[in-house]
Amino acid sequence: MIDPAHRVVAAGLSTRCPTCDRVYPALERTCRDCPDALLRAEYAQRSFEPASDRGIFRYVDWLPPAFGIDTQIGPTVYRAEALAQAVGINELYVGYNGYAPEVGAFNPTGSFKDFEAIPTLLFLREHGVQSVVLASAGNTARAFAYAATLLDFTVHIVVPERCVDLLWCPVEPSEHVRLTVIQDSADYALAIECARLIEQEFGVFGEGGARNIARRDGMGTSLLEYARVVGAMPHHYFQAVGSGTGGVAAWEAGVRLIGDGSFGGRLPVLNLAQNAPFTPIHDAWTHARPIRPFDDVQSQVRRIDRIGARVLANRNPPYWIAGGVRDALRATRGRTYAVTNRQAREAAEMFCRVEGLPIGTAAAVALGALMQAVGDGRVRPHESVLFNMTGNDEALVARDYTLHPIRPALHLSAEQIASNHVTTLYRHFHE
Protein backbone atom coordinates (compact mmCIF):
# COMPACT_ATOMS: atom_id res chain seq x y z
CA MET A 1 0.00 0.00 0.00
CA ILE A 2 1.52 3.32 -1.02
CA ASP A 3 0.53 6.31 1.02
CA PRO A 4 1.02 9.37 -1.24
CA ALA A 5 1.59 11.62 1.76
CA HIS A 6 4.75 9.68 2.50
CA ARG A 7 6.05 9.50 -1.03
CA VAL A 8 9.53 10.94 -1.14
CA VAL A 9 11.50 11.40 -4.28
CA ALA A 10 14.99 10.12 -3.87
CA ALA A 11 16.76 12.56 -6.14
CA GLY A 12 19.76 10.30 -6.35
CA LEU A 13 18.02 7.29 -7.86
CA SER A 14 16.01 6.31 -10.91
CA THR A 15 15.61 3.04 -12.80
CA ARG A 16 16.33 2.34 -16.44
CA CYS A 17 15.14 -0.31 -18.86
CA PRO A 18 18.11 -2.20 -20.34
CA THR A 19 16.19 -2.81 -23.58
CA CYS A 20 14.71 0.56 -24.53
CA ASP A 21 16.66 2.87 -22.18
CA ARG A 22 13.52 4.52 -20.83
CA VAL A 23 13.96 6.00 -17.35
CA TYR A 24 11.47 5.38 -14.53
CA PRO A 25 10.97 6.45 -10.90
CA ALA A 26 12.85 4.42 -8.32
CA LEU A 27 10.01 2.16 -7.21
CA GLU A 28 8.98 1.04 -10.71
CA ARG A 29 9.43 -2.69 -11.39
CA THR A 30 8.43 -3.16 -15.02
CA CYS A 31 8.98 -1.22 -18.23
CA ARG A 32 5.75 -0.18 -19.97
CA ASP A 33 7.03 -1.36 -23.35
CA CYS A 34 9.38 -4.19 -22.39
CA PRO A 35 7.75 -6.41 -19.75
CA ASP A 36 10.55 -8.96 -20.15
CA ALA A 37 13.31 -6.76 -18.84
CA LEU A 38 14.80 -6.13 -15.40
CA LEU A 39 14.87 -2.41 -14.65
CA ARG A 40 18.26 -1.43 -13.30
CA ALA A 41 19.00 1.15 -10.60
CA GLU A 42 20.81 4.23 -11.74
CA TYR A 43 22.47 6.36 -9.09
CA ALA A 44 23.35 10.04 -9.41
CA GLN A 45 26.64 9.27 -7.66
CA ARG A 46 28.99 7.88 -10.30
CA SER A 47 32.28 7.64 -8.45
CA PHE A 48 33.05 4.91 -5.94
CA GLU A 49 33.24 6.62 -2.57
CA PRO A 50 32.59 4.25 0.31
CA ALA A 51 31.46 6.09 3.45
CA SER A 52 33.17 5.66 6.80
CA ASP A 53 30.21 3.69 8.24
CA ARG A 54 30.69 0.08 9.19
CA GLY A 55 28.48 -2.51 7.51
CA ILE A 56 26.52 -2.47 4.30
CA PHE A 57 25.61 1.23 4.41
CA ARG A 58 29.18 2.09 3.70
CA TYR A 59 27.78 1.75 0.17
CA VAL A 60 24.59 3.76 0.71
CA ASP A 61 25.35 5.85 -2.43
CA TRP A 62 24.83 2.69 -4.50
CA LEU A 63 21.91 1.27 -2.53
CA PRO A 64 18.26 2.24 -3.08
CA PRO A 65 17.47 3.74 0.36
CA ALA A 66 18.59 7.36 0.64
CA PHE A 67 19.53 6.79 4.27
CA GLY A 68 21.01 3.75 5.96
CA ILE A 69 21.09 2.72 9.60
CA ASP A 70 23.99 1.81 11.82
CA THR A 71 24.37 -1.96 11.43
CA GLN A 72 27.07 -4.60 11.45
CA ILE A 73 25.28 -6.46 8.67
CA GLY A 74 27.35 -6.33 5.52
CA PRO A 75 29.99 -8.00 3.37
CA THR A 76 33.33 -9.22 4.74
CA VAL A 77 36.22 -9.86 2.36
CA TYR A 78 39.59 -11.25 3.41
CA ARG A 79 42.56 -12.80 1.69
CA ALA A 80 42.76 -16.55 2.34
CA GLU A 81 46.36 -17.65 1.86
CA ALA A 82 46.06 -21.19 3.12
CA LEU A 83 42.88 -21.86 1.16
CA ALA A 84 44.50 -20.42 -1.97
CA GLN A 85 47.36 -22.84 -1.55
CA ALA A 86 45.01 -25.77 -1.00
CA VAL A 87 43.04 -24.84 -4.11
CA GLY A 88 46.18 -24.18 -6.17
CA ILE A 89 46.01 -20.45 -6.96
CA ASN A 90 47.90 -17.40 -5.74
CA GLU A 91 45.29 -14.80 -4.98
CA LEU A 92 42.07 -15.98 -3.39
CA TYR A 93 39.73 -13.76 -1.42
CA VAL A 94 36.81 -15.09 0.57
CA GLY A 95 33.67 -13.01 0.89
CA TYR A 96 32.56 -14.52 4.21
CA ASN A 97 28.96 -13.39 3.99
CA GLY A 98 27.51 -15.42 6.82
CA TYR A 99 27.98 -15.18 10.57
CA ALA A 100 31.46 -15.52 12.07
CA PRO A 101 32.61 -12.75 14.43
CA GLU A 102 36.07 -14.40 14.17
CA VAL A 103 36.47 -12.76 10.75
CA GLY A 104 34.23 -9.75 11.33
CA ALA A 105 31.12 -11.27 9.76
CA PHE A 106 27.98 -10.36 11.71
CA ASN A 107 25.08 -11.34 9.50
CA PRO A 108 22.51 -12.45 12.06
CA THR A 109 20.58 -14.95 9.94
CA GLY A 110 23.72 -16.52 8.53
CA SER A 111 23.55 -15.67 4.84
CA PHE A 112 23.96 -12.86 2.33
CA LYS A 113 20.16 -12.60 2.22
CA ASP A 114 20.72 -10.24 5.16
CA PHE A 115 22.17 -7.78 2.59
CA GLU A 116 18.84 -7.68 0.88
CA ALA A 117 16.25 -7.42 3.64
CA ILE A 118 17.19 -4.22 5.48
CA PRO A 119 17.88 -2.14 2.33
CA THR A 120 14.55 -3.33 0.88
CA LEU A 121 12.51 -2.38 3.93
CA LEU A 122 14.23 1.01 4.37
CA PHE A 123 13.76 1.78 0.67
CA LEU A 124 10.07 0.86 0.73
CA ARG A 125 9.46 2.83 3.92
CA GLU A 126 11.07 5.93 2.38
CA HIS A 127 8.50 5.59 -0.40
CA GLY A 128 5.52 5.28 1.92
CA VAL A 129 5.06 1.52 1.53
CA GLN A 130 3.82 -0.01 4.79
CA SER A 131 4.01 -3.75 4.34
CA VAL A 132 5.58 -6.32 2.06
CA VAL A 133 4.87 -9.95 1.13
CA LEU A 134 7.23 -12.68 -0.01
CA ALA A 135 7.26 -16.42 -0.56
CA SER A 136 10.44 -18.10 0.57
CA ALA A 137 11.63 -21.53 1.50
CA GLY A 138 14.32 -20.47 3.92
CA ASN A 139 17.14 -17.95 3.97
CA THR A 140 15.19 -15.02 2.54
CA ALA A 141 12.36 -15.58 5.02
CA ARG A 142 14.76 -15.56 7.96
CA ALA A 143 16.48 -12.39 6.78
CA PHE A 144 13.17 -10.57 6.33
CA ALA A 145 11.80 -11.81 9.67
CA TYR A 146 14.84 -10.36 11.39
CA ALA A 147 14.68 -7.08 9.46
CA ALA A 148 10.92 -6.76 10.12
CA THR A 149 11.54 -7.11 13.83
CA LEU A 150 14.49 -4.70 13.82
CA LEU A 151 12.70 -2.01 11.78
CA ASP A 152 9.07 -2.46 12.95
CA PHE A 153 7.97 -3.04 9.37
CA THR A 154 5.22 -5.55 8.58
CA VAL A 155 6.39 -8.50 6.51
CA HIS A 156 4.05 -11.25 5.31
CA ILE A 157 5.97 -14.47 4.70
CA VAL A 158 4.44 -17.48 2.94
CA VAL A 159 6.10 -20.88 3.20
CA PRO A 160 5.25 -24.47 2.35
CA GLU A 161 4.71 -26.52 5.51
CA ARG A 162 7.78 -28.63 4.89
CA CYS A 163 10.02 -25.57 5.23
CA VAL A 164 8.68 -24.27 8.55
CA ASP A 165 11.43 -25.97 10.52
CA LEU A 166 14.06 -23.95 8.64
CA LEU A 167 12.63 -20.72 9.93
CA TRP A 168 14.23 -19.18 12.95
CA CYS A 169 15.13 -15.72 14.10
CA PRO A 170 18.09 -14.73 16.31
CA VAL A 171 15.79 -12.38 18.25
CA GLU A 172 12.19 -12.96 19.37
CA PRO A 173 10.19 -12.20 16.20
CA SER A 174 7.77 -9.31 16.71
CA GLU A 175 4.14 -9.04 15.65
CA HIS A 176 5.40 -7.41 12.45
CA VAL A 177 6.31 -10.88 11.19
CA ARG A 178 3.17 -12.51 9.72
CA LEU A 179 3.82 -16.09 8.73
CA THR A 180 1.38 -18.01 6.54
CA VAL A 181 1.91 -21.74 6.19
CA ILE A 182 0.55 -23.77 3.30
CA GLN A 183 -0.57 -27.05 4.87
CA ASP A 184 0.56 -30.44 3.60
CA SER A 185 2.75 -28.75 1.06
CA ALA A 186 6.32 -29.10 -0.04
CA ASP A 187 5.67 -27.07 -3.16
CA TYR A 188 7.14 -23.65 -3.33
CA ALA A 189 4.95 -22.78 -6.35
CA LEU A 190 1.83 -22.77 -4.15
CA ALA A 191 3.50 -20.42 -1.70
CA ILE A 192 4.32 -18.08 -4.59
CA GLU A 193 0.71 -18.23 -5.73
CA CYS A 194 -0.52 -17.39 -2.24
CA ALA A 195 1.90 -14.44 -1.97
CA ARG A 196 0.57 -13.18 -5.29
CA LEU A 197 -3.01 -13.36 -3.95
CA ILE A 198 -2.04 -11.37 -0.86
CA GLU A 199 -0.40 -8.80 -3.12
CA GLN A 200 -3.37 -8.46 -5.45
CA GLU A 201 -6.25 -8.78 -3.04
CA PHE A 202 -4.91 -6.78 -0.15
CA GLY A 203 -2.61 -4.24 -1.72
CA VAL A 204 0.44 -5.50 0.08
CA PHE A 205 3.62 -4.64 -1.82
CA GLY A 206 5.43 -7.62 -3.34
CA GLU A 207 9.07 -8.13 -2.40
CA GLY A 208 9.76 -8.55 -6.10
CA GLY A 209 12.51 -11.18 -6.21
CA ALA A 210 14.96 -10.48 -9.01
CA ARG A 211 12.98 -7.35 -9.91
CA ASN A 212 13.74 -5.82 -6.53
CA ILE A 213 16.67 -3.42 -7.04
CA ALA A 214 17.33 -3.33 -3.30
CA ARG A 215 17.78 -7.09 -3.37
CA ARG A 216 20.22 -6.95 -6.26
CA ASP A 217 22.21 -3.96 -5.13
CA GLY A 218 22.36 -5.29 -1.57
CA MET A 219 23.84 -8.55 -2.87
CA GLY A 220 26.19 -6.62 -5.15
CA THR A 221 28.00 -5.09 -2.17
CA SER A 222 30.25 -8.19 -1.96
CA LEU A 223 32.05 -7.05 -5.09
CA LEU A 224 32.14 -3.46 -3.83
CA GLU A 225 33.76 -4.67 -0.61
CA TYR A 226 36.37 -6.51 -2.65
CA ALA A 227 37.05 -3.32 -4.63
CA ARG A 228 37.43 -1.32 -1.41
CA VAL A 229 39.70 -3.85 0.30
CA VAL A 230 41.86 -4.81 -2.68
CA GLY A 231 41.66 -1.63 -4.76
CA ALA A 232 40.84 -3.58 -7.92
CA MET A 233 38.28 -5.98 -9.34
CA PRO A 234 38.93 -9.74 -9.26
CA HIS A 235 39.44 -11.69 -12.48
CA HIS A 236 36.82 -14.18 -11.34
CA TYR A 237 33.69 -14.13 -9.20
CA PHE A 238 32.41 -17.50 -7.88
CA GLN A 239 28.93 -17.97 -6.45
CA ALA A 240 26.40 -20.76 -6.02
CA VAL A 241 23.11 -19.84 -7.67
CA GLY A 242 19.48 -20.84 -7.64
CA SER A 243 17.85 -17.77 -9.15
CA GLY A 244 21.17 -16.31 -10.29
CA THR A 245 20.14 -12.90 -8.95
CA GLY A 246 23.40 -12.62 -7.03
CA GLY A 247 25.27 -13.12 -10.29
CA VAL A 248 23.27 -10.39 -11.97
CA ALA A 249 24.00 -8.21 -8.93
CA ALA A 250 27.75 -8.79 -9.21
CA TRP A 251 27.64 -7.89 -12.91
CA GLU A 252 25.73 -4.66 -12.19
CA ALA A 253 28.14 -3.73 -9.39
CA GLY A 254 31.05 -4.38 -11.77
CA VAL A 255 29.52 -2.07 -14.38
CA ARG A 256 29.21 0.67 -11.74
CA LEU A 257 32.84 0.19 -10.70
CA ILE A 258 33.95 0.50 -14.33
CA GLY A 259 31.89 3.70 -14.49
CA ASP A 260 34.02 5.10 -11.65
CA GLY A 261 37.03 5.04 -13.95
CA SER A 262 39.70 3.71 -11.62
CA PHE A 263 39.05 -0.02 -11.93
CA GLY A 264 39.89 -0.56 -15.57
CA GLY A 265 37.40 -1.76 -18.15
CA ARG A 266 37.25 -5.50 -17.63
CA LEU A 267 34.37 -7.07 -15.73
CA PRO A 268 35.00 -10.02 -13.41
CA VAL A 269 34.14 -13.32 -15.11
CA LEU A 270 30.95 -14.69 -13.54
CA ASN A 271 31.38 -18.31 -12.46
CA LEU A 272 27.96 -19.57 -11.38
CA ALA A 273 27.62 -22.95 -9.70
CA GLN A 274 24.64 -25.26 -9.34
CA ASN A 275 24.14 -28.47 -7.42
CA ALA A 276 23.77 -31.56 -9.63
CA PRO A 277 21.44 -33.15 -10.52
CA PHE A 278 19.28 -30.00 -10.49
CA THR A 279 21.08 -27.53 -12.74
CA PRO A 280 18.63 -25.55 -14.95
CA ILE A 281 20.86 -22.48 -15.34
CA HIS A 282 23.90 -24.60 -16.15
CA ASP A 283 21.90 -26.64 -18.67
CA ALA A 284 20.52 -23.53 -20.32
CA TRP A 285 23.95 -21.89 -20.58
CA THR A 286 26.01 -24.89 -21.65
CA HIS A 287 23.46 -26.90 -23.67
CA ALA A 288 20.97 -24.17 -24.63
CA ARG A 289 18.31 -26.26 -22.92
CA PRO A 290 15.12 -24.23 -22.36
CA ILE A 291 14.06 -23.51 -18.78
CA ARG A 292 10.52 -24.83 -18.37
CA PRO A 293 9.47 -24.40 -14.73
CA PHE A 294 6.02 -25.88 -15.19
CA ASP A 295 6.82 -28.80 -17.49
CA ASP A 296 7.61 -32.21 -16.16
CA VAL A 297 7.37 -30.92 -12.62
CA GLN A 298 7.55 -34.40 -11.08
CA SER A 299 10.92 -35.15 -12.60
CA GLN A 300 12.22 -31.72 -11.57
CA VAL A 301 11.03 -32.31 -8.02
CA ARG A 302 12.73 -35.70 -7.99
CA ARG A 303 16.02 -34.08 -8.94
CA ILE A 304 15.51 -31.32 -6.39
CA ASP A 305 15.03 -34.01 -3.74
CA ARG A 306 18.51 -35.29 -4.50
CA ILE A 307 20.48 -32.07 -4.05
CA GLY A 308 22.09 -31.20 -0.73
CA ALA A 309 21.85 -27.43 -1.22
CA ARG A 310 18.08 -26.96 -1.21
CA VAL A 311 18.32 -23.16 -1.26
CA LEU A 312 19.53 -23.50 -4.85
CA ALA A 313 16.35 -25.26 -6.01
CA ASN A 314 14.74 -22.58 -8.17
CA ARG A 315 12.71 -23.88 -11.10
CA ASN A 316 12.05 -20.45 -12.55
CA PRO A 317 15.22 -18.34 -12.55
CA PRO A 318 15.26 -14.97 -14.38
CA TYR A 319 17.45 -16.38 -17.12
CA TRP A 320 16.06 -15.20 -20.48
CA ILE A 321 14.78 -11.85 -19.27
CA ALA A 322 16.70 -8.82 -20.60
CA GLY A 323 19.26 -7.76 -18.02
CA GLY A 324 18.98 -11.19 -16.39
CA VAL A 325 21.28 -14.16 -15.85
CA ARG A 326 21.99 -14.93 -19.51
CA ASP A 327 22.92 -11.34 -20.27
CA ALA A 328 25.13 -11.25 -17.17
CA LEU A 329 26.97 -14.40 -18.31
CA ARG A 330 27.37 -13.02 -21.83
CA ALA A 331 28.64 -9.64 -20.72
CA THR A 332 31.27 -11.19 -18.47
CA ARG A 333 32.27 -14.17 -20.66
CA GLY A 334 30.89 -16.22 -17.80
CA ARG A 335 30.82 -19.95 -17.08
CA THR A 336 28.51 -22.27 -15.19
CA TYR A 337 29.20 -25.45 -13.24
CA ALA A 338 27.40 -28.58 -12.11
CA VAL A 339 28.78 -29.70 -8.75
CA THR A 340 27.80 -32.99 -7.14
CA ASN A 341 26.86 -33.39 -3.48
CA ARG A 342 30.08 -35.30 -2.97
CA GLN A 343 32.26 -32.57 -4.52
CA ALA A 344 30.47 -29.98 -2.38
CA ARG A 345 31.02 -32.04 0.76
CA GLU A 346 34.71 -32.39 0.02
CA ALA A 347 34.98 -28.64 -0.61
CA ALA A 348 33.23 -27.87 2.70
CA GLU A 349 35.55 -30.22 4.57
CA MET A 350 38.58 -28.62 3.00
CA PHE A 351 37.39 -25.11 3.88
CA CYS A 352 36.73 -26.10 7.46
CA ARG A 353 40.11 -27.83 7.77
CA VAL A 354 42.10 -24.97 6.24
CA GLU A 355 40.16 -21.90 7.38
CA GLY A 356 38.77 -23.26 10.64
CA LEU A 357 35.25 -22.02 9.88
CA PRO A 358 32.11 -23.80 8.68
CA ILE A 359 30.49 -23.01 5.35
CA GLY A 360 26.97 -23.82 4.21
CA THR A 361 26.03 -26.45 1.65
CA ALA A 362 25.30 -23.85 -1.04
CA ALA A 363 28.57 -22.03 -0.54
CA ALA A 364 30.35 -25.38 -0.69
CA VAL A 365 28.90 -25.86 -4.18
CA ALA A 366 30.63 -22.64 -5.28
CA LEU A 367 33.93 -23.76 -3.76
CA GLY A 368 33.54 -27.12 -5.52
CA ALA A 369 33.14 -25.19 -8.78
CA LEU A 370 36.34 -23.25 -8.10
CA MET A 371 38.19 -26.53 -7.57
CA GLN A 372 36.82 -27.84 -10.88
CA ALA A 373 37.85 -24.64 -12.64
CA VAL A 374 41.41 -24.72 -11.30
CA GLY A 375 41.60 -28.41 -12.17
CA ASP A 376 40.66 -27.94 -15.80
CA GLY A 377 42.48 -24.64 -16.36
CA ARG A 378 39.45 -22.37 -16.59
CA VAL A 379 41.00 -20.42 -13.74
CA ARG A 380 44.76 -20.00 -13.97
CA PRO A 381 47.02 -19.79 -10.92
CA HIS A 382 47.86 -16.09 -11.29
CA GLU A 383 44.25 -14.95 -11.69
CA SER A 384 42.55 -13.32 -8.70
CA VAL A 385 39.36 -14.85 -7.39
CA LEU A 386 36.52 -13.68 -5.15
CA PHE A 387 34.77 -16.71 -3.66
CA ASN A 388 31.41 -15.51 -2.37
CA MET A 389 30.76 -17.65 0.70
CA THR A 390 27.04 -16.89 0.62
CA GLY A 391 26.09 -18.45 3.91
CA ASN A 392 27.00 -20.72 6.81
CA ASP A 393 23.44 -21.21 8.05
CA GLU A 394 22.97 -21.48 11.81
CA ALA A 395 26.29 -23.15 12.56
CA LEU A 396 27.76 -20.23 14.50
CA VAL A 397 24.64 -18.15 15.09
CA ALA A 398 23.34 -20.98 17.29
CA ARG A 399 26.53 -20.73 19.36
CA ASP A 400 26.01 -17.03 20.13
CA TYR A 401 22.22 -16.58 20.04
CA THR A 402 19.01 -18.31 21.01
CA LEU A 403 17.25 -19.32 17.82
CA HIS A 404 13.58 -18.44 18.14
CA PRO A 405 11.03 -20.30 16.07
CA ILE A 406 8.74 -18.15 13.91
CA ARG A 407 5.15 -19.02 14.76
CA PRO A 408 2.56 -19.20 11.98
CA ALA A 409 -0.19 -16.58 12.08
CA LEU A 410 -2.29 -18.42 9.49
CA HIS A 411 -2.63 -21.92 8.05
CA LEU A 412 -4.06 -22.34 4.58
CA SER A 413 -4.78 -25.47 2.62
CA ALA A 414 -3.82 -26.00 -0.97
CA GLU A 415 -7.52 -26.12 -1.87
CA GLN A 416 -8.14 -22.72 -0.37
CA ILE A 417 -5.48 -21.23 -2.57
CA ALA A 418 -6.30 -23.22 -5.68
CA SER A 419 -9.92 -22.07 -5.49
CA ASN A 420 -8.89 -18.47 -4.82
CA HIS A 421 -10.80 -18.90 -1.62
CA VAL A 422 -9.50 -15.82 0.07
CA THR A 423 -12.09 -15.08 2.73
CA THR A 424 -9.91 -16.67 5.38
CA LEU A 425 -7.09 -14.47 4.23
CA TYR A 426 -9.36 -11.49 4.16
CA ARG A 427 -10.43 -11.89 7.77
CA HIS A 428 -6.86 -12.33 8.84
CA PHE A 429 -5.53 -9.22 7.14
CA HIS A 430 -8.36 -6.95 8.19
CA GLU A 431 -8.86 -8.00 11.75
List beta partners, residue 240. 273
Nearer to ligand PLP, 254 or 360 (CB): 360
Cα(387)–Cα(271) distance, rounded to whole angstroms? 10
Contact segment (CB under 6 A) with ligand PLP among 47-55, 121-129, 235-243, 379-387 equals 235-243
Question: What single letter denotes the amino acid at residue 111?
Answer: S
Q: Does the footprint of ligand PLP cover residue 391 (CB under 6 A)?
A: yes
Is position 139 an interface residue for ligand PLP (rule: CB under 6 A)? Answer: yes
Footprint of ligand PLP on 59-118 (CB under 6 A): 111, 113
- Do residues 123 and 132 make contact, with C-beta atoms less than 8 angstroms apart? no
Give SS3 for 279: coil
- Residues 6 or more apart whose CB falls under 8 angstroms from that of 1 comprise 129, 130, 131, 203, 204, 205
Closer residue to ligand PLP (CB): 113 or 235: 113
Asked if residue 336 binds ligand PLP (CB under 6 A), the reply is: no
Q: Residue 101 carries which DSSP code?
A: G
C-beta of residue 319 within 8 angstroms of C-beta of residue 248: no
Distances (CA, A) of 360 to 25, 150, 223, 301, 351: 37, 25, 20, 22, 11
Q: Of the ranges 87-95, 244-252, 378-386, 418-426, which one interacts with ligand PLP (CB under 6 A)?
A: 244-252
Nearer to ligand PLP among residue 66 and residue 304 (C-beta): 304
Q: Is 121 exposed, middle or buried (0-12, 13-18, 19+ CB in 10 A)?
A: buried
Stretch in the footprint of ligand PLP (CB under 6 A) among 245-253, 335-343, 346-354, 408-416: 245-253
Count the Cβ atoms, other than its own, within 10 Å of residue 292: 12
Q: Are 150 and 170 spatial neighbours (Cβ–Cβ below 8 Å)?
A: no
For residues 14 and 343, which CB has a smaller minimum distance to ligand PLP in the complex?
343
- Which residue, 93 or 237, has its beta carbon nearer to ligand PLP? 237
Q: Find the shortest distance in angstroms from Cβ 365 to ligand PLP.
A: 8
In the complex, minimum distance from the CB of residue 62 to ligand PLP, in angstroms, rounded to a whole number: 18
Smaller CB separation from ligand PLP, 337 or 429: 337
Contact flag: residue 245 with ligand PLP (CB under 6 A): yes
| CB-nearer residue toward ligand PLP: 14 or 336 | 336
Using N-to-C axis directions, what is the helix angle for 221-230 and 245-260, rounded to 10°?
Answer: 40
Cis ω before 277 (30° cut-off from 0): yes
Q: How far apart are CA 364 and CA 5, in angstroms?
A: 47
Binding residue (CB under 6 A) for ligand PLP from 119, 160, 173, 244: 244
Site for ligand PLP in 7-66 (CB under 6 A): none
353-372 positions binding ligand PLP, by CB under 6 A: 360, 362-363
Looking at beta carbons only, is 387 or 429 nearer to ligand PLP?
387
Q: Which of 31, 145, 148, 241 binds ligand PLP (CB under 6 A)?
A: 241
Residue type, 334: G
Residues that bind ligand PLP (CB under 6 A): 111, 113, 139, 240-247, 311-312, 360, 362-363, 390-391
